[in-house]
Amino acid sequence: MAYRIAVLISGSGSNLQAIIDRIEQGVLDARITLVVSNKPGVKGLERAEKHSLPFAVIEHKQYPSREDFDAALVRVIKESGADGVILAGFMRIVTPVLINAFSGNILNIHPSIQPSFPGVNAQKQAAEYAVRISGCSIHFVDEKMDHGPIIIQAAVPALAEDDEKSLGSRILILEHRIFPQAVHWLAQGRLEVRGRTVVVRDAPPPAVVHIDSFPALVSPGLEQGF
């Protein structure tokens, strides 16, 4: 049986879409049991509906504490039968209530080369800092924000004329490649965590892919179809 995931979102859900697309293409071996947004009316929910996926809105504002909110998340996620939790632009700090309920099975995407620029608006922070290389990271979630063991990262050039938007859209194209890949490895049980180091069993070697006319370095490399 395919590995079952709940995908948590707060907004556009373009990363959710990338995961849906790879599943529908038969490349990513997983099944989405639930999409949860902490905000009503976001585009990601429309995407879930369009693809006939179960979805729910759980508004963090309705809960007195982060732990109470996470307990509500755990309830619906467990009810859906999910094995793992994918934070796809979910803009909330999660607590041990969620982390311990799905220990070792929670992934997050962050739009920077970690450990740089944790928190919100990483693309804006990078553009304002005027870095010359930026990118994105997929990592296991631990108790610190944007911190857990890194599974895969991708790097793109940042240009002198870049702003948050232009740099962010270059990074986003890579996000859509590496996130479904990392979810696939999780689903296949190919990720082994040794301290901070994640070993991907039979990982492809680091590779250069092209985003528009830009070279991007991806490590580990991507498998066929990702």
Q: Which residues bind ligand GAR (CB under 6 A)?
A: 9, 11-15, 44, 88-89, 109-111, 122, 146, 172, 175
Residue 96 φ then ψ, to 5°: -60, -20
Number of neighbouring beta carbons within 10 Å of residue 137? 25
- Give me the least distance between CB of 123 and ligand GAR, in Å please: 7
Counted residue by residue, the chain has a size of 226
Q: Hunting for tokens 């996926």 — which residue is that? A: 53
- Give me the least distance between CB of 201 and ligand GAR, in Å please: 25
Asked if 110 is an active-site residue, the reply is yes
Residue 49 or 192: the one with the smaller Cβ distance to ligand GAR is 49
- Give me the least distance between CB of 14 and ligand GAR, in Å please: 3
Coil/strand/helix, residue 77: helix
Residue 1 or 186: the one with the smaller Cβ distance to ligand GAR is 186
Which residue out of 110, 139, 176, 184 is catalytically annotated?
A: 110
Nearest residue to the partner ligand GAR, using Cβ: 89
Coil/strand/helix, residue 60: helix
Task: Let me know: does 207 contact 222? Beta carbons within 8 Å.
Answer: yes
Catalytic residue annotation: 110
